[in-house]
Amino acid sequence: MNVNAKQDAILGRELTFYENKCSIELGTLYLEANVAWRPEDRTLQVNLLHLLSRGEDWRSALGRFAPDVVALSALTYYAPELAFVAGWVKAELGSVVIVGGPHATAIGRGVLDDGNIDYALVGEGEAGFGDLLDLVRGGGTRRADVGGLVYREPDGTVRANPRGVVPDLDALATPTLAHLDPDPFAGYTSLLNLKVRYMPIVTTRGCPYQCVYCHDIMGKSVRYRSAAAVVAEVDYWHEAAGVDTFLVYDDIFNIHRGRVREIFAEFARRPGLRFAFPNGLRADLLSEDIVDLLLDGGTFYAMVAVESGDQRVQQVIKKRLNLDRTRRMIEYMGNAGVILGSFNIFGFPSETEADIERTIEFNASTTGLSKANFFVLSPHEGTEVWDMALGQGYEPPRGGAGQGYFSAPESSPTAEVSWDRLEELRREAYSRFYLTPARVRKVLTDTARNMTPQEKHTFHSVDYSFVLRQFLDVDSLDALPGGETTDLLHDLLPAGVLSGY
């Protein structure tokens, strides 16, 4: 069960738009596909619960199924909800509770500080999940032999096995329609906030870069699925389910240029396919010919992770992006027909206000970007930036979890800029980026080229309404001063969108 809703959802209260999103959880689908695929597990009954997508109460569903084992996955953002669900399961059902996914992998042994959690599985779950289930049902597997297992000894000592890694990605079974039954695709919203018939895919695992703020869930070496396997998976979903929109969830899809060419040369021969890269492409590894091929193969949307527009900060955070090449590729790709957005972070340790100003200007001065996200750094335990921020006087949120993406952590992770000032700079960034006639015209042009009318309506509503209300305190377009930008926003946003958002 993927715990991907804040506690309002878990407790049955009304949700905001972003909290009510339920995207197809690919990691959990891979677990189910690969446990069911093991010949020795013929007696195992797996029930993957997509409860938010069905609008179903999770307590009723779990009670009806009465599972021996409940496996939970969550981001650190949802750690409080994870604890809530684990406590309910243990108290009401007495099931064995297993926790995996990003949060468990990040904090390792710390997961078992919660007495309601029996086991954690860190790293790639397929490497150890089947063995762990065999252990739980008394099949002879020893705890020490389960890759990535975190467990308690009888005396309470917590031990952690080396994390599990899948060396050959082509050896994994991939999800099929059977894993989305009984109501395939119903109720799901993509990471683009579009309710379209889509499928996420992953073609690589791991990333060789050492960015101090990033996770290490899949390791620091890249493993590749073969081009043939990737194309075959896309063909399967297109032919079996009529899916034509695919979201590539790789951390760094374009690290191997030859492989990108091989895959997208095939997609270019299949008219009608659409591809998006919501997790981001590394911009300074792009080239004009690669961008052209991505477009020929159906790419309509991509994000690039800029993070900082200052070259010194790029060195501090160990991303080491070539900003000149990044700008060149943003302008080329964004003006070639792709809806292009950027990720940016304020508040890196040692970052000054002048450094942040360079990030704002880097984004605001581009002509290639249709959107930009500006976050305040939320250091997470298990990352290098966590230790760096603590050294700058950062105070983690009480409980150490539940940190959000669109809210600041209320304690500045850099000694150079206060938390209040970081929030002011973020508001300024959104205003300078979004509220210009040129930007609104670009969004209108790019979405008209790449999206259906319904997709455009949703994309415009979510992106601009969220920015206007969340960061600029604008509840109605009538509250904006008159002028060309406001006139264009009326073309972009249907009447009533802000009040109904």
Separation between Cα atoms, residue 171 and residue 165, nearest integer Å = 12
pLDDT of the residue at 402: 47
At 205, the pLDDT band (50, 70, 90 cuts) reads very high
Sort strands 339-346 and 299-307 into parallel, antiparallel or unpaired.
parallel
> Of 467, 461, 455, whose CA–CA distance to 500 is shortest?
461
Does residue 349 carry a pLDDT above 50?
yes
Q: What are 84-96's pLDDT values in tens digits?
A: 999 999 999 999 9
Mean pLDDT of 53-67: 76
- The domain limits of the chain are 7-160, 190-434, 437-501
> Given its phi and psi angles, is residue 172 left (phi above 0), alpha (psi -120 to 50 degrees) or beta?
beta
The pLDDT value given to residue 49: 59
**Statement: residue 500 has pLDDT above 70:** no
pLDDT at 334 over 90: yes
Supply the CATH classification number for the domain 190-434: 3.80.30.20
192, pLDDT greater than 70 = no
Tally the residues of the chain: 501
- For 7-160, the fitting CATH number among 3.40.50.280, 3.40.50.2020, 3.40.50.1000, 3.40.50.1370 is 3.40.50.280
Q: Give per-residue pLDDT as tens, 284-315.
A: 999 999 999 999 999 999 999 999 999 999 99
Q: Has residue 75 got a pLDDT over 90?
A: no
Instruction: Read off φ and ψ for residue 98, nearest 5 degrees.
Output: -115, 135
Pairing relationship of beta strands 149-152 and 158-160 according to DSSP bridges: antiparallel
- Residues 6 or more apart whose CB falls under 8 angstroms from that of 412 comprise 347, 392, 393, 394, 418, 419, 422
Q: Which residue has the higher pLDDT, 288 or 401?
A: 288
Give the pLDDT score at 11.
40
pLDDT in tens, 410-453: 678 888 999 999 999 999 999 999 999 999 999 999 999 988 88
Q: How confident is the model at residue 232 (pLDDT cuts 50, 70, 90)?
A: very high
Q: Please determine, for residue 484, whether its predicted confidence score (pLDDT) is greater than 80.
A: yes
Judged by DSSP in three states, 441 sits in helix
Asked whether this chain's domains 7-160 and 190-434 adopt the same fold, the reply is no
* Mean of per-residue pLDDT scores for the chain: 86
